[in-house]
Structure 1
Amino acid sequence: MLFKDRKKNVRMKKCSWLVWILTFVLCMSLIPSLSHAAESAPPKREMRAVWIASVQNSDVKAGMNKTQYTTWARQTLDSLKANKFNTVIFQVKPTSDAWYSSKLAPWSAYITGKKQGTSPGYDPLQIMITEAHSRGMELHAWINPYRVTMPGETLKNLSSQNAARKHPGWVVKYGKQYYLNPGLPEVQDYLVSSVKELVQNYDVDAIHMDDYFYPYKIKNETFPDQAAFKKYGKSFKKIEDWRRNNVNQLVKKIYSTIKTTKPYVQFGISPFGVWRNQSIDKTGSATKAGVNNYDDLYADTRTWIKEGTVDYITPQIYWSKKLAAAKYGTLLNWWSNEVKVYAKTHPVNLYIGVADYKVGQDSDPAWKNKMELPNQIVSNRADRMTKGQMHFSLKSWKKNSLGYATIVKQQLYKYPSLTPAFSWKDASQPVKPTSVQVKKEAAGRKIVIQDQASKQPRKYVIYRFAGKTLGSYEDARNIVDVVYNTKGKTVFLDKSARSDRTYTYSVKSVSATGIESKDAFVIKE
């Protein structure tokens, strides 16, 4: 009996090994297209951003002092940098308030956890900009223009310095929330002034707006702007056309103000993922979405692309590749075509908003597959017009449901990437750095970049090649990092360099609009 059991045990072990091997082979066979896409040509330029939502303290907690907040910012950005993100979209105006020092809006209650208007004793936005730039990452300041409160809050919850309290005639209530009335010229002027203040006072790389224009419709309730329409909409037969024009005018004015204040600061909008269904408009997408931008939110996204009143657009395609009503691929193709059609007249960078928050959490069974979101990124890369993606949001990326973020990091975000250029605003190439010095230290290679150019570049991209031979500047695998110019003398420590190896370093300048210098300053060890 003992001998028979031993033979049986051997057979079971062999069977187990066979099952393991077959399972491994099967699993590997499911991923090759993703691995091939990731390894064959890692993109040199790709938007890799994450939204950091402050509203209701979604991604950042309230009540931190300066030291605690700075520690949080550094740890957060260190983690994102390690995962090869190059941009953060930081929500600085969640509800007619401010995460920065402003004369036009009170301090946000989401900073301190206390009454709106309570000073935190430090400037959260300035700290975030400093820390992001010190890591070579862009900071896009995310604003919500019209929203005054979240559901259930009253105007009494607001600071006496809030525009809604100072100008109650600007405010309308719809559902359980208060909004600034988009149809009032005074409201538009106030919002444009708010953006100008922000761009003037802070070194942001972009102003970013999301999908909250006119609020999402509430059944059996009419948005209360009829009086404003009667007063200001006389040239429009339909209130819907007037509403769309209000949003278009705001977008146009904000864009113009940004470019007049600091021409290199970008303006981007992240709208709801569907412009219009084909059932409503034959030029719309082959979708059956219950909401669309044009008719429900009065956000005519096509007009912004056509008129070039945005530098980038990031449709929130928060659906799977298999969802019949709104397939990811169908919408990706539609938006790509929109940008392509108007590219010769008004180029606009196309990024895609991806739904990290749905991974492993949604009723659509496709989101139970950890490969859903990684495969969406692969689709983005296969599309010629799409230049990257923005992830919603920080807490979901950190949660890493089903291990999807690990897959993205290991297979798709394995190497650094520059943010896409927007050359239509200034295509002039910067000159290479004046000088570069490389010194071997115990912690790595210390690189000192000095610049005496009359027009200073905004960033530098540092390349590293093994030995004494230059390689390709188009291969992202040769990029060590991207760093911001710090007043003509920039210091960077290449911690990944091995002490027992010899390298050739090559540094190129990058303009404020993302244009790389033709020549590089080369140092051979």
Structure 2
Amino acid sequence: MNERISKRKLGSLAIAAFVGGSLLLPSNLIVSAEAESIPQQTAYIKQELRATWIASVLNIDWPSKPGLSVSTQKEEFIKYLEEQKAMGMNAVVMQIKPTADAFYPSEYGLWSQYLTGVQGKNPGYNPLSFMIEEAHKRNMEFHAWFNPYRITMPLGKTAELSDLDKLPESHPAREHPDWVIPYGQQLYFNPGIPEVQQFVIDGIMEVVENYDIDAVHMDDYFYPYKIEGVPFPDQASYKKYGASKFTNVEDWRRDNVNNLIKHINEEIKAEKSYVKFGISPFGVWRNKAVDPTGSDTAAGQTNYDDLYADTRTWINNGYIDYIAPQLYWNIGLPVADYAKLLDWWTKEVKGKNVQLYIGQADYKINTESNGVQNWFNPEEMPNQLKLNRTYKEFDGSMHFSAKDLRKNPLGVADRLSNDIYKYPALVPPMPWIDNNAPKAPNVSRSKQTGAGIQFEIQDHKHSDASYYAIYRFDGKKKGNIEDSTNLLATVHKEKKSQLFIDHTVQKGKTYIYVVTALDRTHNESKQTKQIKIKIK
């Protein structure tokens, strides 16, 4: 990606490439037959992951530029969390290893230049520890986002091995130049070398072992996007490691990626079974014209044939806990129709122990894409989110990116806050990881305090509860905690006994509250006894 900048462009260019770079559409504003199923009214759901990507490479989102003071960096990150929480988000996907570097002290990469402007320079604090703590304070999951193989961003010229000399002497790539492949304008670790795969796994496990993350996350960068007319120069490593087992380099490359994904998941689960592993691939696995089981698309590059990322194998073999395909096209686009792709991906995960999140292209809102005007339509993104919810296999969305939502193009952030994500949501549980709910907590000492209602939540001595869900009902109605509109808030568990205050009550009204406890994998307890209070 220029992180996602060039990646998102690549997605568009790949689509355009199917007719030699020119894309002819029947009109500037297009819809599909599937779009007719979009509900007119918002249907709220109780369990739904809602996340925002925060990209650090090239300072796309955070920090806003390198070299800021520690206090300014912290203020910027907290502001993002506050904004996202106000929009209804319950998770953050933070890029902590963008270019063979690290946002934490690491044995497998130097301090990131995007913190200080100088790769290897200590920023004066541990950003990863800080970010995890702040996310959890707001009861938001923290997904640690890794780029496995990229060493440099585009160098402005054709990359050569001699470019390694521009990196600090202690850089892992300089210590292992035989691991490095130049391709296009960038340097990469060679995915076909077993020692490289283990190096990637060890670097991820360093974080899993030492930090309280909720998930390990990768996106679509495995083998790099192809450059027309430029083969990836891994023939020597194929001859050494793959030729005896595979009749072609393509199958060997896919096997390299499959093995990496499989072993990352195994190592994570062996260390901390509750830590999830998810990947956000390019939105097209294979085109139907190449494989009848592929999607009805005409993408110029695809996961299977060009990036060597066989998402179907990962899903069918349980190598990942969630998949978040980047469906960065509009509803009705003939060569990559959002509605058709959504339907295809729901069928891919049906009956499998893998949750489906959708990567949403908030960065495209209010822009023209391939001559199509749909992204100037303020209903395009709301319609995509509404269409998602018509599928029972849909488990949530990831929005790219934090800074784009901050800009609030066509009022999308307001629409999330006031409509689509108006009510909080619980992250969906993963019963294949853990299916045991904690005991219900106790509530006591309820009273009106000023203009609010206060009560105490008390957990059991050996409870594995991680947070609480607070439900509120009108005192005249029978409460139902399965109705998402009754979910008032979620509160991270800080101690065995803590106070909750509801400041959103109205004078003269009667309210009923119940509380549930949830564990790290979001199994929900039974509800507590009711608290009923009339505001005077």
In 2 relative to 1, CA 334–64 (structure 1 residues): closer, same or farther, beyond 3 Å?
same
Q: CA RMSD in A?
A: 2.0
What displacement does 1:497 show? 3.1
- Residue 454 of structure 1 pairs with residue 462 of structure 2: yes
CA distance 1:489–1:177, change in 2 (3 Å) = farther
**Distance (whole Å) between structure 2 residues aligned to residue 36 and residue 143 of structure 1:** 38
Partner amino acid for 2:362? Answer: D
1: CA distance, partners of 2:236 / 2:514: 63
347 and 146 in structure 1: CA distance in 2 versus 1, 3 angstrom threshold: same
Of 240, 247, 256, the match for 2:266: 256
Aligned to 1:209: 218
Which residue of structure 1 lines up, in the alignment, with residue 5 of structure 2? none
What is aligned with 1:12?
Answer: none
- 8 Å CA contact 2:443–2:528 kept in 1: the answer is no
| Farther off after superposition, 477-486 or 132-141 | 477-486
Tell me which residue corresponds to 1:11. Answer: none
2:364 alignment partner, one of 358, 362, 366: 358
What is the CA–CA distance in structure 1 between the aligned matches of 2:440 and 2:341, rounded to whole Å?
A: 41
- 1:158-179 superposed Cα distances (whole Å, 9 cap, x missing partner): 3333221221111111000011
How much has 1:151 moved relative to structure 2?
Answer: 0.2
> Which position in structure 1 is the counterpart of 2:230?
221
- Asked if structure 2 preserves the Cα contact closer than 8 Å seen for 1:423 and 1:514, the reply is no
Aligned to 1:406: 414
Partner of 1:181: 190
Matched-pair contact (CA < 8 Å) for 1:54–1:110: yes
* Structure with greater Cα Rg: 1
User: What amino acid does structure 1 have at the position aligned with 2:171?
Assistant: N
What is the CA–CA distance in structure 2 between the aligned matches of 1:228 and 1:443, rounded to whole Å?
69
| Greater Cα offset, 155-164 or 203-212 | 155-164
Q: Which residue does the alignment assign to 2:397?
A: 389
Instruction: Give the superposition deviation at 1:500.
Output: 4.9
1:136-147 → structure 2 map (5 Å cutoff): 136-147=139-150
From 477, 490, 504, give the equivalent of 1:482. Answer: 490
Are positions 1:371 and 2:375 aligned together?
A: no
- 8 Å contact from structure 2 (residues 514, 527) kept in 1: no
CA contact (8 A) 1:416 1:481 kept: yes
Counterpart of 1:237 (choices 242, 247, 270) is: 247
Q: Contact between 1:116 and 1:157, CA under 8 Å: does it hold in 2?
A: no
Q: Distance in 2 between matches of 1:516 and 1:172?
A: 48
Report the Cα distance in structure 1 between the residues aligned to 2:389 and 2:329, rounded to whole angstroms: 18
Secondary structure of 1:303's aligned partner = helix
In structure 2, distance between residues paired with 1:36 and 1:325? 26
Tell me which of 189, 196, 200 is aligned to 2:205: 196
- Range moving further from structure 2, 396-405 or 260-269: 396-405
Is residue 510 of structure 1 aligned with residue 496 of structure 2? no
Alignment of 1:83 with 2:93, yes or no, is: no
After TM superposition, the score normalised by the length of structure 1 is 0.89
Aligned to 1:65: 69
With over 3 angstroms needed to count, the CA separation of the structure-2 counterparts of 1:473 and 1:165, relative to structure 1, is: same
Q: Identity, % of aligned pairs? A: 49
Distance 2:45 2:75 in 1: 31
Q: Which residue identity does 2:360 align to in structure 1?
A: V
1:379 alignment partner AA? L
Q: Compared with structure 1, are the counterparts of its residues 260 and 50 closer, same or farther at alpha carbon in structure 2 (3 Å cutoff)? A: same
Structure 1 residues 447 and 79 mapped into 2: Cα distance closer, same or farther (>3 Å)? farther
Alignment correspondent of 2:7: none
For 1:522 and 1:159, locate their aligned partners in 2 and report how far apart those are by CA, in whole Å: 61
Alpha-carbon deviation of 1:521?
Answer: 4.7
CA distance in structure 2 between the partners assigned to 1:42 and 1:385 by the alignment: 15
Question: What is the aligned partner in structure 1 of residue 44 from structure 2?
Answer: 42
Q: 1:454 deviation in Å?
A: 2.0
Supply the AA of the counterpart residue of 1:360. N
The answer to whether 1:151 aligns with 2:157 is no
Indicate the SS of the match to 2:432.
Answer: coil
- 1:166 aligns with 175
Aligned residues: 488
User: 1:36: how far off?
Assistant: 4.3
Gaps of 5+ in 1: 1-30
Q: Which residue of 2 aligns with 1:282?
A: 292
Alpha-carbon distance change, 160 to 450 in structure 1, aligned in 2, over 3 angstroms: farther
Per-residue CA deviation, residues 209-230 of structure 1 (Å, 9 max, x unaligned), is 0001100001111111111111
Task: Give the Å deviation of 1:439.
Answer: 4.5
Residue aligned with 1:323, SS: coil
Normalising by structure 2, what TM-score? Answer: 0.87
SS of the equivalent of 2:531 reads strand
Alignment check: 8 A CA contact 2:94 2:145 kept = yes
Cα 1:105–1:444 shift into 2, 3 Å: farther
Are 2:353 and 1:347 aligned?
yes
What secondary structure is seen at the aligned counterpart in 2 of 1:149?
A: coil
Kindly indicate whether the alpha-carbon contact (under 8 Å) linking 1:35 and 1:411 is maintained by their aligned counterparts in 2.
no
Match of 2:425 in 1: 417
Please list the CA deviations of residues 376-420 of structure 1 after superposition, one character each: whole Å capped at 9, or x if unmatched.
011100112111211111111111222233233322111111111
Deviation at 1:426, TM superposition (A): 1.1
SS in structure 2 at match of 1:37: coil
> Contact 1:133/1:483 (CA < 8 Å) preserved in 2?
no
Aligned-partner residue type, residue 402 of structure 2: L
Structure with more contact order per residue of length (Cα contacts < 8 Å, sep ≥ 6):
2
Letter of the structure 1 residue corresponding to residue 113 of structure 2 = A
In the alignment, what sits opposite 1:135? Answer: 138
Residue 102 to residue 490, structure 1, CA distance change in 2 (3 Å)? farther
**2:474 is aligned with 1:466:** yes
Q: What displacement does 1:436 show?
A: 4.6
Q: Which of 42, 47, 55 does residue 57 from structure 2 map onto?
A: 55
Contact 1:469/1:504 (8 A) holds in 2: no
Name the structure with the higher helix share: 1
